[in-house]
Structure 1
Amino acid sequence: MWRHVAANALTFLMVGLFLLGGLILWGRAQYDAPGPLSEAVCVQVDRGSSMRRVSNDLAEQGAVTSAAIFRIGADYEEKTGQLKAGSFLVEPEASMQEIVDTITRGGASTCGTEVVYRIGVNRVSVQVRELDPATNRFAELASFEPGVDETPPEYSETIAEADTRLRIAMAEGVTSWQVANALNTLDILEGEISETPPEGSLAPDSYEVRRGDDRAALIARMTAAQEANIAAAWEARDADLPIDSPEELLTLASIIEKETAVADERPQVASVFVNRLNQGMRLQTDPTVIYGITRGEGILGRGLRRSELRAETPYNTYVIPALPPTPIANPGRASLMAAAQPDESPYIFFVADGTGGHAFAETLDEHNRNVARWREIEAERAAAGEAASE
């Protein structure tokens, strides 16, 4: 009898183990399988939230088929205690495993609302926007120029939310004074930038920040990023460049940055300046003269005078036969690489062509024809402007 009972018990145990193994395999398959979402959703994880609360929210939004399997999988991977606060984009058909990875790895929020402080060449602006998960595009909620426009209520409401993403977007071609001045006015940061960083030493980019971050620490991040950019460009430079140091490369890149806003033109503009340096010609570029006047503290706001083009200053490349002594702005990676690897061209002249780009020339006669055409375009635009104002 006891032998029969033991045999039955062993059978039940084996069946139970078999069923348990099958259940585990089924649960694992569910955990790794593509999820039920047909459109992306934004999942908000509040500070102090639990994996149970998040899993239930995901189930309510239709992102997971089982909140329990989601939690068990997170426990199995030892990620339950790694839950991070923020707003996270969950892509269509994301598996439970992928969602767990998204909400536990940390880093910047990938959806929800954000405030972008844009430091541009001509102005500083603030943009409040929100990501639409379905289209993966941002919708603007408000935009204003601090100190000029009235602060919209959308900004005050959004900035008060703990999960709002904050970014500082520094444009290519801004000066170090413009960056320092703008950062000193942002009320989300602390500390003070007492000295303007060296010109060209800050990397144009988008920087994630938090309320209360130190301004000097942010400048240090920008500086480290630019040092890496310069080192990479210097390492990749053409062997026959008429450039003797990374500092000269940076200066040339800053001139390229200020001369064209057309990305594809940068290597061609670089070729003109390299050709001029190789031939011992003056660079003859207006942005350096302007920098010599403003020292990068704001924009000139007018045309250059003949006396300024003739004045012998360290930054007047119509007079000096070389690069100016320092960069004239903070160039981005593309301009640094253009300076390091310019196009091979015969051009030594260029002038605006009315499209936002430039007309390039090999000879002075050809250049003069391009200049004459540009003067015609300027006159036509001036006449059209006067007619429109009448």
Structure 2
Amino acid sequence: MNQDINRQSPDDQPARWPLFWALVILALAVPALWWYLDPTPRADASSKPVTVVVRHGEGWNDLTDRLHRLGIIRRPLIFKALVVLSGERGHLLPGRYLIKRGTSARDLIATFTDASNQSKITIPEGFRLGQIEDRMLQLGLTTPQQWQEAINNPPKSPLLASKPKGVSIEGYIFPDTYIFTEENAAQQLVREGIANMQKHLSKDIIQGFKRQGLTINEGLTLASIVEREAQIPSERPIIASVYLNRLRKGMPLQADPTVQYAVGKRGEWWKSPLTRQDLKSDSPYNTYVHKGLPPGPICSPGLPSIKAVAYPAHTDYLYFVAKGDGSHAFAKTLQEHEQNIQRYLRR
């Protein structure tokens, strides 16, 4: 009798159907609602990345409007709300970013708040313009045309006053890390690199150049040679003194890095070893053929090499030869130098 009472009547079973259909509708509605609310449209695999520049002083409102115009987001208000909810509203970083279409809102916010995503370049000490261009091209920061336009039309600067006409800005871009916040990265690098070099050339350093009888261009030129020669920091002022002593005596510098610069080409910017034919190359930068300093720097010297020229060691050395371990053997006379050659190069 009790079992009959507890048994469900067939008339009660249809009551489950409204709940079933509600769950079905909900399952379909959630993705549809998310698709509608998702602020970032999808993109096919062939879509090319877009360069987005965030300038100093800009906020999320400016950036959101730009992303909307570029078609990277489709619902600006929702994107702005997600920024607020993410807690990253005050963490927008200026920079130049490469954004793939179809990137989710969460990943977009993460991109614009992570310094590792900023377009940047680090120029090591001793890099020549060709190497800087190679790195800029590899990072997708410039084109060959933009690069040539930038280096051939540098901004006006007191730093360039002593640079001979026709000589490039080689050596005038200070080795450092540069973060790009402009569309034309090559132009920004040239402008900021020269300004950075000018900032590091203090009055004391410029006076130091003058005490050695050097203009700013000549000081940077000799510093660039020291940069390529020295491997041990403590030897920089000594190497600078050798070259200064040779200049005062009217002796050719006979610096291998200047020949490497003269014969260098893409894929082999610093040829080593040099051949006898290389040492005879008729280039104004070849200090085996031409006495005095080259027309301009051969690379971007770092501050230690610049200071080494401004404040050289006081020596009577006229020669040096590499020992093979990064250090050099210095000599005052040709006889001592030849003995060092026998000891370190012909053993």
Per the shorter chain, which TM-score range? 0.5 to 0.7
1:24-35 to 2 correspondence within 5 Å?
Answer: none
Cα distance in 2 between the residues matched to 1:329 and 1:159? 39
Large movers: runs of 4+ above 4 Å: 46-54, 157-160, 188-191, 210-213, 231-234, 295-298
Corresponding position of 1:205: 176
- The alpha carbon displacement at 1:294 in A equals 2.2
Name the Cα RMSD after superposition.
3.4
Cα distance in 1 between the residues matched to 2:217 and 2:241? 18
The answer to whether the aligner puts 1:367 opposite 2:337 as a matched pair is yes
1:242 to 190, 199, 213: 213
Cα distance in 2 between the residues matched to 1:188 and 1:371? 45
Please say if residues 285 and 295 of structure 2, whose CA atoms lie closer than 8 Å, have aligned partners that are also in contact: yes
**TM-aligned CA distance change 1:164 to 1:240, over 3 Å:** same
**TM-aligned CA distance change 1:192 to 1:272, over 3 Å:** same
User: Which structure dedicates a bigger proportion of its chain to strand?
Assistant: 1
Corresponding position of 2:121: 168
The answer to whether the aligner puts 1:269 opposite 2:223 as a matched pair is no
Please say if residues 260 and 274 of structure 2, whose CA atoms lie closer than 8 Å, have aligned partners that are also in contact: yes
1:182 partner letter: R
Corresponding position of 1:192: 146
Which structure's CA Rg is the greater one? 2
Cα distance in 2 between the residues matched to 1:233 and 1:325? 24
1:265 partner letter: E
- The alpha carbon displacement at 1:219 in A equals 2.2
Corresponding position of 1:181: 134
C-alpha distance after superposition, 1:343-385 (max 9, x if no partner): 11111111111221211111222211221222256xxxxxxxx
How many residue pairs end up in the alignment? 237
1:193 partner letter: W
C-alpha distance after superposition, 1:224-277 (max 9, x if no partner): 11233345464341654132x111111111111111122221111100001111
The answer to whether the aligner puts 1:330 opposite 2:292 as a matched pair is no
1:192 partner letter: Q
Corresponding position of 1:84: 90
Please say if residues 150 and 187 of structure 2, whose CA atoms lie closer than 8 Å, have aligned partners that are also in contact: no
- The alpha carbon displacement at 1:300 in A equals 4.4
1:1-390 to 2 correspondence within 5 Å?
Answer: 84-85=90-91, 161-165=111-115, 166=118, 167-187=120-140, 192-195=146-149, 197=151, 198-209=169-180, 214-230=185-201, 232=203, 234-237=205-208, 240-243=211-214, 245-294=215-264, 298-376=268-346
Cα distance in 2 between the residues matched to 1:296 and 1:259? 21
**TM-aligned CA distance change 1:327 to 1:161, over 3 Å:** same
Greater RCO, 1 or 2 (C-alpha within 8 Å, sep 6+): 2
- The alpha carbon displacement at 1:52 in A equals 11
- The alpha carbon displacement at 1:309 in A equals 1.6
SS at match of 1:227: helix
Cα distance in 1 between the residues matched to 2:204 and 2:123? 20
Cα distance in 2 between the residues matched to 1:84 and 1:359? 57
2:147 partner letter: I
C-alpha distance after superposition, 1:52-93 (max 9, x if no partner): 958xxxxxxxxxxxxxxxxxxxxxxxxxxxx7306xxxxxxx
Please say if residues 126 and 227 of structure 2, whose CA atoms lie closer than 8 Å, have aligned partners that are also in contact: yes
**TM-aligned CA distance change 1:51 to 1:337, over 3 Å:** farther
Cα distance in 2 between the residues matched to 1:187 and 1:224? 24
Gaps of 5+ in 2: 1-58, 61-79, 98-106, 152-168
More off after superposition, 277-286 vs 162-171: 162-171
**TM-aligned CA distance change 1:297 to 1:176, over 3 Å:** farther
More off after superposition, 221-230 vs 273-282: 221-230
1:305 partner letter: T
Please say if residues 266 and 335 of structure 1, whose CA atoms lie closer than 8 Å, have aligned partners that are also in contact: yes
1:185 partner letter: Q
TM-score (structure 2 length as normaliser): 0.59
- The alpha carbon displacement at 1:173 in A equals 0.7
2:187 partner letter: A
- The alpha carbon displacement at 1:312 in A equals 4.0
**TM-aligned CA distance change 1:53 to 1:171, over 3 Å:** closer
C-alpha distance after superposition, 1:79-133 (max 9, x if no partner): xxxx7306xxxxxxxxxxxxxxxxxxx889xxxxxx9xxxxxxxxxxxxxxxxxx
Cα distance in 2 between the residues matched to 1:170 and 1:369? 38
Between the aligned residues of both structures, percent identity stands at: 33
Cα distance in 1 between the residues matched to 2:234 and 2:293? 23
Please say if residues 209 and 309 of structure 2, whose CA atoms lie closer than 8 Å, have aligned partners that are also in contact: no
1:280 partner letter: G
Corresponding position of 1:61: none
